[in-house]
Amino acid sequence: MLGRYVLTTKHPLRIAIAGLGTVGSATLDMLEKNRDLICQRAGRNLQVVAVAARDKTKHLQKIKNGIQWFDNACDLAPLPTVDVVVVLIGGDDGIALKTTETALRNGKSVVTANKALMATHGVRLSEIAEETGAQLMFEAAVAGEIPVIKTLREASAGDRITSVQGILNGTCNYILTRIGEDGLTFEEALKEAQNKGFAEAEPSLDVDGHDTAHKLALLAALAFGIPPSFNDVSVEGIRNVSSLDIHFANELGYKIKLLGTARLTDRGLEKYVGPCLVPKHSVLANTNDVLNAVSIQIDTLDPITLTGRGAGGKPTASAVVADLMDLARGSSVLPFGIPAAMLKNVSPALCEEKLSSWYIRMRVFDKPGALTSVSTIFSQKSISIESVIQRGQPGLESVPVIIKTHEVSESAMRWALAKISKLETIQETPCAFRVEEPAHEDCPDSPNRMCQRAPEGMGKPFNLG
């Protein structure tokens, strides 16, 4: 019987892979090992015909019969034997950009995992793809095996999305999990992540939040029909999060996660990346180690939360192969869901006006009246306090004081923190993280809801005076 599972007589989808590192090698491997399954499900053969990387000697074993080798990835696209170029070289310009542009200009489709490239040049590359009729796909650029690009671009295309929020960097999530579980310092947890291959030798792109900002820029573009841009994302990394913070956050009913958030508000579009306290029982809070999670809020419906492995060779290759299979089936989608010319900026919400409650950790000298000065500064900006934790120990010169505030504007909080830092009774610059309150007040433990159980003793404004 003829059916959709029978291979068609179409010529195979002929693939060239640029870059044979972690993702490139895993893609090649998956296409070979799962060949029959992939071809059966795509209804067409997928065949790797050419590869390119820098150092041929490293990759000799991967260059099987029939696969052509190239030192220059730009030489792949003009080949008449190539239908699609898979760009798995990093960087937002240089060879990755050149290879992608050359392919699209030659009318060859591109599949890429390169988020920096897409977040920086996404609009221009989409325009070229539209002009030449090529496809440009980048499911692998955000959250590895989680099909979040497809969900935003296709599954939720008819819905009005109001926010996208997620744990988008596995390295940071691993480090935060290790700090929380074993009381490691940031440096110890980073070293462990590097030893296990979860973090780069040069980790700043990950731990300072820029990788999350690149991914957030892509998700926001798809969710809100805006041009991808990460320069307007307020970004803070995880270097200041300590085991003390994770401990006290837990006492308050929260966990600390590095979140990327894009949210439409009455004041405009908020885009920020930073360590945030999330309710302990929420899906985001329980997404640990290298896992990622993305929560999409649609109008008044409950959020959809997707979780899975966000990085690594195999999970990322799985997203690359899914895009290749879509191409093999003849799918045709615009990279950002709408024509590049229709991507329009939404006015940004000023970060200073953003209302949130805050978690603040400060080290206060154990002297009478020390907290009164803090309270006086808060009262000058009408900042009200929801909870205070102070754990003094006899003989210690200073003690940690943890404060959770009610909602306050970011500008008021920054003003107060600057003043508090200058107090003689404060030993070091206070640390402050936003608290992401639950979307729904009373919610069962449904995986599709963000929920919080109020810890005992919380809820009433506190008076420090």
Ligand X SMILES: NC(=O)c1ccc[n+]([C@@H]2O[C@H](COP(=O)([O-])OP(=O)(O)OC[C@H]3O[C@@H](n4cnc5c(N)ncnc54)[C@H](OP(=O)(O)O)[C@@H]3O)[C@@H](O)[C@H]2O)c1
**Interface residue list for ligand X (CB under 6 A):** 19-24, 52-55, 58, 73, 88-90, 95, 113-115, 140, 144, 311-312, 316
CA atoms within 13 A on the CB side of 441: 0
Nearer to ligand X, 197 or 461 (CB): 197
Question: What is the nearest approach in angstroms of ligand X to the Cβ of residue 51?
Answer: 9
Here the tokens at position 388 are 């205070």
Closest distance to ligand X from the beta carbon of 292 (Å): 10
For ligand X, the closer of residues 92 and 154 by Cβ is 92
Of 56 and 329, which has the nearer Cβ to ligand X?
56
Nearer to ligand X, 138 or 224 (CB): 138
Q: DSSP 3-state assignment of 423?
A: coil
Helix 35-42 and helix 22-33: axis angle, to 10°? 80
- From the list 116, 305, 285, 347, the residue with the least C-alpha distance to 212 is 116
Taking the C-alpha atoms of residue 165 and residue 181, their distance in angstroms, rounded to an integer, is 24
Using the minimum distance from each CB to ligand X, give the nearer residue, 115 or 354: 115
CB of 93 to ligand X, least distance (A): 11
> Whose CB is nearest to ligand X?
21
Q: Which is nearer to ligand X, 17 or 246 (CB)?
A: 17
Q: From the CB of 312, what's the least distance to ligand X, in Å?
A: 5
In 3D space, the residue among 26, 95, 88, 9 whose CA is nearest the CA of residue 62 turns out to be 26
Q: Is 201 helix (H, G, I), strand (E, B) or coil?
A: coil
Whose Cβ is closer to ligand X: residue 77's or residue 140's? 140
Cross-strand partners of 361? 402, 431
Minimum CB distance to ligand X, residue 97 (Å): 11
Bridge partners of 15?
48, 84
CB of 396 to ligand X, least distance (A): 43
Backbone phi and psi for residue 254, each to the nearest 5 degrees, phi listed first: -135, 165
Let me know if 215 is a catalytic residue.
yes
Least distance to ligand X from the beta carbon of 253, Å? 33
Catalytic-labelled residue, pool 62, 215, 271, 354: 215
Residues 6+ apart with CB under 8 A from 52: 16, 17, 18, 19, 69, 70, 71, 72, 73, 75, 76, 99
Rounded to whole angstroms, what are the CA distances from 132 to 96, 101, 306?
Answer: 19, 11, 34
Read out DSSP for 12-56?
Answer: PEEEEEE--SHHHHHHHHHHHHTHHHHHHHHTS-EEEEEEE-S-G
- Beta strands in 245-383, from DSSP E residues, in sequence order: 254-265, 268-279, 291-298, 304-309, 355-365
**φ, ψ of residue 291 in degrees (nearest 5):** -70, 155
Active site amino acids? 215
